[in-house]
């Protein structure tokens, strides 16, 4: 299938690589060109602009940092929706607000929300979960991609639900990592060292599997970015705003969001696990 992928960050590159591996005809585009030379070496074509990446594609996907980026690339005068060919589907895999998912759904009946659960490595290995929100007509057209893309996808009847589902999961990850960092800080204050903490919590049922992946990172080890603290802060904010729109305050996540903002300021290139560094003296 001819597929255009816009946004060659960590996730966009992983997605394009997975689709190339499955034999699809992939055209990539990124705001800053030349970011994915290995994909070109593996057979992808690079387009100079959004319209060229969209031309002839049956599916166009975006993988972009935030609402502003998606709005610019999808809704602009030369954007995806203005360039999409008849019968083609636009799937946004970025994590964005429910309000933007609703706005895109109003703008086009060919739009599907498709946020991703899992890091770039899971996308590459086919282990990520895709949350697919949209009516049968556009969302069904993506079904042929899934056997090769991933072992798991969950369908929702509307884009906004897929976006809400993604933020629901991310809240648990973001708040959970902050709680893990504070548990470590508490243990250390009482004289436990890193090995004591590993023995105590390394396989404890109190630490969910999704947090175990970053256990060493929070402890202070590897913090190479799968997902930057700035993107984590963005998603905590989106969760707080979504709950507020429904009339509920999230005081814990509001505080956690401020900690990710602080981590992003101090360690701009680090993973969300860098929240652990804020507690080390």
Interface residues toward ligand NAP, by CB under 6 A? 7-12, 30-32, 35, 63-65, 68-69, 72-73, 94-95, 116, 119-120, 226-228, 231
- What is the C-alpha separation between 256 and 258, in angstroms, rounded? 5
Both tokens assigned to 180: 């893990």
Nearest residue (CB) to ligand NAP, 120 versus 197: 120
Nearer of residues 84 and 131 to ligand NAP, judged by Cβ: 131
Cβ–Cβ under 8 Å, residues 236 and 257: yes
Angle between helix axes 98-107 and 159-189 (nearest 10 degrees) is 160
Tokens of 44: 């992808």
C-beta closer to ligand NAP: residue 118 or 138:
118
The CA-CA-CA angle for residues 208, 236, 68, to 5°, reads 135
Q: How far is the CB of 43 from ligand NAP (least distance, A)?
A: 20
Which is nearer to ligand NAP, 32 or 248 (by Cβ)? Answer: 32
Min dist. Cβ of residue 238 to ligand NAP (A): 9
Q: To the nearest whole angstrom, how small is the minimum distance from the Cβ of residue 169 to ligand NAP?
A: 10
Q: What is the closest distance, in whole angstroms, from the C-beta atom of residue 186 to ligand NAP in the complex?
A: 28
CA distance 67 to 64: 8
* Rounded Cα distance, 118 and 42, in Å: 24
Which residues have a Cβ under 8 Å from the Cβ of 68 and sit 6 or more positions away? Answer: none
Which residue has the closest beta carbon to ligand NAP?
9
Contact 226, 120 (CB under 8 A): yes
Nearest approach in angstroms of CB 219 to ligand NAP is 19
**Distance linking the first and last C-alpha atoms of the chain:** 53
Nearer to ligand NAP, 64 or 207 (CB): 64
Compare residues 138 and 232 and give the one whose CB is closer to ligand NAP.
Answer: 232
* Rounded least distance, CB 75 to ligand NAP, Å: 12
In terms of CB distance, is 63 or 141 closer to ligand NAP?
Answer: 63
Q: How far is the CB of 91 from ligand NAP (least distance, A)?
A: 13
Strands 116-117 and 129-133: antiparallel
The radius of gyration of the chain from alpha carbons, rounded to an integer in Å, stands at: 19
């Amino acid at each position: 299938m001819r597929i255009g992928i816009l946004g060659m960050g960590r996730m966009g590159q992983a997605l394009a690589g997975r689709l190339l591996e499955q034999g699809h005809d992939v055209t990539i585009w990124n705001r800053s060109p030349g970011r994915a030379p290995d994909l070109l070496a593996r057979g992808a074509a690079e387009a100079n602009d959004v319209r060229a990446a969209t031309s002839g594609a049956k599916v166009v996907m975006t993988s972009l940092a935030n609402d502003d980026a998606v709005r610019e690339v999808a809704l602009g005068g030369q954007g995806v929706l203005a360039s999409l060919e008849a019968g083609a589907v636009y799937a946004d895999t970025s994590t964005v607000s429910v309000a933007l998912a609703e706005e895109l759904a109003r703008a086009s009946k060919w739009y599907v929300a498709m946020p991703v659960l899992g890091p770039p490595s899971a996308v590459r290995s086919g282990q990520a979960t895709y949350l697919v929100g949209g009516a049968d007509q556009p969302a069904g057209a993506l079904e042929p991609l899934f056997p090769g893309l991933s072992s798991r996808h969950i369908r929702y009847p509307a884009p906004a639900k897929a976006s809400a589902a993604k933020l629901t999961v991310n809240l648990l990850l973001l708040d959970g990592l902050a709680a893990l960092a504070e548990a470590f800080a508490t243990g250390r204050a009482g004289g436990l060292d890193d090995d004591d903490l590993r023995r105590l919590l390394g396989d404890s049922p109190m630490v969910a599997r999704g947090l175990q992946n970053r256990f060493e990172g929070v402890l202070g080890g590897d913090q190479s970015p799968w997902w930057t603290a700035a993107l984590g802060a963005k998603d905590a904010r989106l969760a707080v705003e979504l709950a507020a729109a429904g009339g509920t305050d999230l005081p814990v996540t509001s505080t956690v969001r401020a900690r990710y903002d602080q981590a992003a300021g101090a360690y701009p290139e680090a993973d969300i696990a860098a929240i652990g560094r804020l507690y080390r003296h």
